[in-house]
Amino acid sequence: MTIENCFETILGNSIVLNDTGHDFVKFIHASDIHLGAVQYRNDYRSNDFIQAFQEILELAIKHHVDFILLGGDVFTSLEMLPGKLTKIVKILNDFKEFTNGTILIIAIEGNHDIRKFSRGIRFERRGQSWLKLLNNLGLIVLLDADLDALSEEIFELYNFDTKRGGKIQIKNVMIYGTRYLGEKPISFLSKIRKAIVKNDDLFNILLQHFGIEGQMENVPGINIEDIQHLKHRVNYLALGHFHKQFILENWIYNPGSSEAVCSVDNSFKRGVFLVEILKKFEKFEKKVSIIRLINRKYLWETIYLNNEFRNKKDIEIFILNRLSSSLKYLNFDIHPSNPQMPILYLILKGKEPSRSCRINEKDLKRKICYNLPLVDVKIYQKFRKPLKTLDSYILAGKS
Ligand SMILES: [Mn+2]
């Protein structure tokens, strides 16, 4: 039995390689793919993240790019089910084979790539990641600078034999990258600036995993004034970390997460950047286009529970009936592998059910997905608290 190359199945076997010469470079900048997200909770939803990754690789082939940048959080944690990793390795192998290794995937580690969910263990210090494995298998180029070294040795050229290095040159573009530098990377950045070589013949990209203050509400980031010093040596600051897309001052770029990792991500503009760099009359010209990915659809529904319910089953029937009528228009086949089936974010409001009727979210979710064409349901219980009676105040005062 031969296992088909997934890119050949989708794109046919004709590949046009990018041979437009040294002065024209094209790349895709993506980030925060979060492979492995929701893998324990919902297998089909979890595949959406792998699907988004495959879509990025397909875009790279279709647009004949020279390389792909991944700004960290490629994986959602160190915990990865074997089946999922096998799938990812197969896709990367197929990609390498289909493109004859001409499109390099250049990545750095984000905070999630080194994160372990188990309690109480500082695993980050052990320096392991799935990206390191993919790098050792020759499927990606993982950039990491040696920040303890002397300035001129911080960024060694990536060596394909040792599979180590902090920078790589493709045509007249030089890409510098480091691992996630923690929550306060400022002290490292002046070191990094000194180590980046200013050369008018090269277009410098710095690949980093941090956010910029003010771009996301209540999420800490770096003050933009504190990185102005990089501007003179960096033509394109390629970021990852914030799941919301932003472009600042025509040199700072953050594409946002490729799938919605949590419900709030759905409200953000997200996607990938397709960047073209052309050297014209000794000057670099840059064109950045935004590409949105085909993500899983989602919908929000609010149900008010104002009736008296005798038992848990009555509540479930009530919710199911409400949903069946409001989602009537979804006439898809109910099969979890159907990619058209949306995710439902369900808000329950009104009177909080009594203790004996308390909602079991897992049960309710299972029943909803069994009866309606939805891939997954996330339930938010936002009931108003029952008013305290005068008696309960008096009792509380006595105790
Ligand atoms: Mn992330």
Q: How far is the CA of 10 from the centre of ligand 1 (A)?
A: 28
Measured in residues, the chain has a length of: 399
Q: How far is the CA of 262 from the centre of ligand 1 (A)?
A: 10
State the pLDDT at residue 309: 87
Binned average pLDDT, 10 residues per bin, the chain of 399 residues: 83 68 92 95 94 97 97 94 97 97 97 76 74 98 94 94 97 96 90 94 97 94 96 97 98 98 94 96 95 96 91 94 95 87 96 90 95 95 76 54
State the pLDDT at residue 197: 92
Q: How far is the CA of 392 from the centre of ligand 1 (A)?
A: 46
Closest CA relative to residue 144, chosen from 98, 189, 208, 200: 208
Q: How far is the CA of 75 from the centre of ligand 1 (A)?
A: 9
Considering the domain 6-291, what is its CATH architecture? 4-Layer Sandwich (3.60)
Q: Can you give the residue ranges of every domain in the chain?
A: 6-291, 298-381
| Secondary structure in 3-state letters for 254-287 | ECCECCCCCHHHHHCCCCEEEEEEEEECCEEEEE
Is residue 97 within a helix (H) or strand (E), and if so which, with residue range? helix 82-98
State the pLDDT at residue 184: 85
State the pLDDT at residue 398: 45
Q: How far is the CA of 146 from the centre of ligand 1 (A)?
A: 23
State the pLDDT at residue 336: 84
Q: How far is the CA of 219 from the centre of ligand 1 (A)?
A: 12
Q: How far is the CA of 34 from the centre of ligand 1 (A)?
A: 7
State the pLDDT at residue 21: 75
Distance of CA 237 to the CA centre of its chain: 18
Q: How far is the CA of 172 from the centre of ligand 1 (A)?
A: 30
Q: How far is the CA of 137 from the centre of ligand 1 (A)?
A: 24
Q: How far is the CA of 257 from the centre of ligand 1 (A)?
A: 7
Q: How far is the CA of 241 from the centre of ligand 1 (A)?
A: 5
> pTM to 2 decimals?
0.92
Q: How far is the CA of 312 from the centre of ligand 1 (A)?
A: 38
Distance of CA 316 to the CA centre of its chain: 34
Q: How far is the CA of 72 from the centre of ligand 1 (A)?
A: 7
Q: How far is the CA of 74 from the centre of ligand 1 (A)?
A: 8
Q: How far is the CA of 85 from the centre of ligand 1 (A)?
A: 19
Q: Determine the Cα angle at 177 with ends 174 and 182, to 5°.
A: 160
State the pLDDT at residue 16: 61
Give the span between the Cα atoms of 246 and 270, in whole angstroms: 9
Q: How far is the CA of 181 from the centre of ligand 1 (A)?
A: 14
Distance of CA 37 to the CA centre of its chain: 9
